Amino acid sequence: MARAMVGGRLRQLREERHLTQVDLAKALGISPSYLNQLEHNARPLTVPVLLRISDVFGIEASFFSAQDTTRLIAEVHETLIGNDLGLTANDREVSELVGSQPKIAQALVKLHRLHQQALEQLGQLSAEESAPLLPYEQVRDYFYSHTYIGSLDTAAERLANELSARRGELLSALANRLKQQHRLRLVEGDQESLGALHRFDPESGVLTVAANLRPNQQAFRLARQLALLEFERMLTELADNAGMMGADTHALMTIGLANYFAAALILPYEAFRTKAEEYRYDIERLARYFEVGFETVCHRLSTLQRPKDRGVPFSFVRVDRAGNVSKRISATPFHFSRTGGTCPLWNVYEAFTQPGKVLTQVAEMPDGRRYLWVSRVVTRSAGRYGAPSKTFAVGLGCEVRHAGRLVYSAGLDLDDKQAVTPIGMGCKMCERPDCAQRAFPPLGHTLSIDRNRTDFAPYPVAPRTN
């Protein structure tokens, strides 16, 4: 455990709980002066104190592991390299900043993102485009880092227990709840004439759901509407506390939170996590048992981070054929750059060539950390011949140290270096100069241009002198 990483994270925990040093020291059974020394990295953190901290805050001891800061370290690196600041920082300097001042590091990353968004909007205005991306990016970033929303998840699980619906009966239970508690009238409509998958008219109290949706898809729409009706105050408070700017962003955030609630209601935390462990995280088997889709299971698995009752920490990503990332959630140190796209060697893109097949990949990031990735294509039909469908590839990944808990590790030699695919955080940020698949030269490097030589790698770089 790196001593430099402990003080800042301990201070952050205390401040988030609005505790004074005296209050926390009393709860831990140590002196305020010892706690002060811990927060300033002047004393090492002993195992007994670490265990007491874990009990007081309801966290795992691994919270203080350097691995938990890997993603933030990568984001700070991206921020420094991606700006014309004339600054350089080595790994040790960035790690010390993240470890001792995590909030400053997060603020630095946030400022960089706001700067990038401002540049994008300026480019859109110059090109006379009117649809800013800022609200969607803000909401997407929130859910990327907030994998588990405790108050919302617990409320959804409590309601699921209250409904006590057996498998296959959730849709009717939700419909009865909406009719009896909220006097809604539920009707099915044609998606084409309705112009939407579902529509609620508050004036008439009519909730119309597209008839071509599967029962689990209809249940999701009803669960979302139930969240907006019964838990509006909670949703609003969470959106307010997220610090979202602008009415559009706040509205999108509320919808995203309602969707989170709906997923947590359909797949209650403890019941789902227990079955996931029993099935060794077999996505297709879980989808069949809970009567939901492949993507829904992947998304829910990435949120199983309840303190003292965690599932495998996953990263979840959804992309289209053009490489656009429409969903991303990460409970791991895994990080893909926002600059220059994602890595073409990542198996989430290979999934498009083998629709219907679950692909596995052991991938290694430039820092040496390895992940087991599971990917598959998912398709959504409009419900009629000739209508365009929506096709995505979804990926679910975890660090190799957790891979033994997954059915997908069967038959894989996780220690075989020859079977590992080297991937990166996107071409502009990737530190692999010899990659033949590179689409852009890496930022912060000088190209090695020699008219008398041809390299297999498209952008050979000169060695760094500093």
SS (H, E, C) the chain: CCHHHHHHHHHHHHHHCCCCHHHHHHHHCCCHHHHHHHHCCCCCCCHHHHHHHHHHHCCCHHHHCHHHHHHHHHHHHHHHHCCCCCCCCCHHHHHHHHHHCHHHHHHHHHHHHHHHHHHHHHHHHHCCCCCCCHHHHHHHHHHHHCCCCHHHHHHHHHHHHHHCCCCCCHHHHHHHHHHHHHCCEEEEECHHHHCCCEEEECCCCEEEEECCCCHHHHHHHHHHHHHHHHCHHHHHHHHHHCCCCCHHHHHHHHHHHHHHHHHHHHCCHHHHHHHHHHCCCCHHHHHHHHCCCHHHHHHHHCCCCCCCCCCCCCEEEEECCCCCEEEEEECCCCCCCCCCCCCCCCHHHHHHHCCCCCEEEEEECCCCCEEEEEEEEEEECCCCCCCCCEEEEEEEEEEHHHHHHCHHHCCCCCCCHHHCEECCCCCCCCCCCCCCCCCCCCCCCCECCCCCCCCCCCCCECCCCC
Residue scoring higher pLDDT (439 or 391): 391
Confidence band (pLDDT; 50, 70, 90) for 133? very low
The two most distant CA atoms of the chain are separated, in Å, by 80
| Contact present, 279 and 286 (Cβ < 8 Å) | yes
Which CATH number describes the domain made up of 3-64? 1.10.260.40
210-215, long-range: CB < 8 A, 24+ apart: 210/383, 212/383, 212/384, 215/168, 215/171, 215/291
pLDDT for 457 beyond 80: no
> What are the residues whose beta carbons fall under 8 Å from the beta carbon of 136, sequence distance 6 or more?
252
Domain 150-266 has CATH 1.10.10.2910: yes
The three-point CA angle 100-102-107 to 5° equals 135
- Judged by average pLDDT, the poorest of 141-150, 248-257, 402-411 is 141-150
Average of pLDDT values for 418-427?
86
Average of pLDDT values for 350-375?
92
pLDDT for 125 beyond 70: no
pLDDT for 156 beyond 50: yes
Fold of the CATH domain 290-432: Beta-Lactamase (3.30.450)
Confidence band (pLDDT; 50, 70, 90) for 12? confident
Confidence band (pLDDT; 50, 70, 90) for 60? low
The three-point CA angle 440-441-442 to 5° equals 115
Confidence band (pLDDT; 50, 70, 90) for 130? very low
pLDDT for 374 beyond 80: yes
Q: What average pLDDT is seen over the chain?
A: 84
pLDDT at 245: 67
pLDDT at 313: 93
pLDDT for 54 beyond 80: no
Confidence band (pLDDT; 50, 70, 90) for 121? low
pLDDT for 103 beyond 70: yes
Percent of the residues in the chain that have a pLDDT greater than 90, as a whole number: 43
pLDDT at 119: 61
Average of pLDDT values for 207-212?
91
For 350, how many CA atoms within 13 A lie in the half-sphere containing its CB?
13
Question: How many angstroms separate the first and last alpha carbons of the chain?
Answer: 29
How far is it, in rounded angstroms, from Cα 316 to Cα 328? Answer: 6
Residue 437: how many CB atoms within 10 A of its CB?
A: 14
Residue scoring higher pLDDT (11 or 204): 204
Nearest to 444 by CA among 178, 151, 62, 90: 90
pLDDT for 231 beyond 90: yes
Residue 259: how many CB atoms within 10 A of its CB?
A: 16
pLDDT at 128: 41
Query: What pTM, to 2 d.p., does this model score?
Result: 0.73
pLDDT for 75 beyond 80: no
Average of pLDDT values for 445-462?
79
